[in-house]
């Protein structure tokens, strides 16, 4: 696996790339969630959701502050416009989870197993996604600032029209990514263990890659520029 690029003491990485600012989540003593279904526009503060089946529930517009969601099932859970603030998600799993236009700020996600999660129009700020696997995440028109993907697998992530600023990929696999119309600023891909861009390779302007990654991307870049490579 690739090693993380080490940033300088001035908060920037090599080649002048600004490093992502990581969240510093310190949860208070949590109260165990008493059960019952999530409520739209609900207010959840200082709660622990553990081993709960939240599939199909509607928590749209809800606020989760200083919360921990651990080993919860989120199949088709509706969390549109929800806000997760200073919270930790561990081992959550689900298919079709709707987090469209949600806000995740100062959040740590560990070992998530998600498929087809909807994050279009979402705002992610100071977020670490560590471990786990996310298949077909929809991040179209999302805004990612100070986000770190570490040790995880992203399968066919759709970043179409998204804005990524100070985003790092460390020891993670990025497979068949769609960057169509995306805007990248201080995006560090050098630490990615696997880098595969299916569409929008020209949008890598604003990102930093390694020489080895450049060689891997050469066929895609040549195709984008209309260059024929023949032996």
pLDDT value for 45: 97
pLDDT value for 12: 46
Q: What is the mean pLDDT of the chain?
A: 91
Q: What percent of the chain has pLDDT over 70?
A: 94
Beta strands in the chain (DSSP E): 31-32, 43-45, 47-50, 63-65, 68-70, 83-90, 93-95, 103-115, 123-135, 143-150, 153-155, 163-170, 173-178, 183-188, 194-199, 207-208
Distances (CA, A) of 89 to 92, 98, 100, 127: 6, 15, 17, 11
pTM for this predicted structure: 0.89
pLDDT value for 79: 98
The number of beta carbons lying within 10 Å of the beta carbon of residue 138 is 22
Confidence of residue 4 (pLDDT cuts 50, 70, 90): very low
Q: Who's near 139: CB < 8 A, 6+ residues apart?
A: 119, 120, 122, 157, 158, 159, 162
Query: Could you identify the residue written with the tokens 């509706």?
Result: 78
Task: Encode pLDDT of 139-172 as tens digits.
Answer: 999 999 999 999 999 999 999 999 999 999 999 9
Rounded to an integer, what distance in angstroms lies between the CA atom of residue 53 and that of residue 126? 27
Residue 16: phi and psi, rounded to 5, are 75, 15
Task: Encode pLDDT of 52-100 as tens digits.
Answer: 999 999 999 999 999 999 999 999 999 999 999 999 999 999 999 999 9
């Amino acid at each position: 696996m690739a090693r993380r690029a080490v940033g300088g003491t001035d908060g920037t990485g090599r080649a002048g790339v600004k490093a992502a600012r990581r969240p510093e989540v310190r949860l208070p003593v949590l109260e165990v969630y008493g059960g019952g279904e999530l409520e739209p526009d609900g207010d959840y503060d200082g709660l622990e959701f553990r081993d709960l089946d939240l599939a199909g529930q509607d928590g749209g517009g809800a606020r989760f502050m200083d919360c921990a969601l651990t080993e919860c099932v989120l199949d088709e859970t509706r969390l549109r416009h929800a806000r997760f603030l200073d919270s930790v998600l561990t081992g959550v799993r689900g298919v079709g989870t709707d987090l469209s236009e949600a806000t995740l700020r100062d959040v740590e996600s560990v070992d998530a197993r998600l498929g087809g999660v909807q994050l279009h129009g979402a705002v992610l700020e100071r977020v670490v996604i560590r471990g786990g696997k996310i298949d077909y995440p929809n991040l179209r028109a999302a805004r990612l600032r100070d986000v770190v993907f570490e040790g995880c697998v992203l399968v066919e992530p759709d970043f179409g029209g998204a804005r990524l600023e100070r985003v790092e990929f460390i020891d993670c696999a990025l497979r068949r990514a769609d960057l169509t119309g995306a805007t990248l600023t201080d995006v560090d891909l050098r630490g990615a263990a696997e880098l595969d861009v299916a569409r929008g390779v020209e949008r890598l302007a604003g990102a930093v890659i390694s020489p080895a990654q450049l060689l891997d991307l050469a066929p895609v870049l040549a195709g984008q520029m209309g260059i024929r490579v023949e032996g």
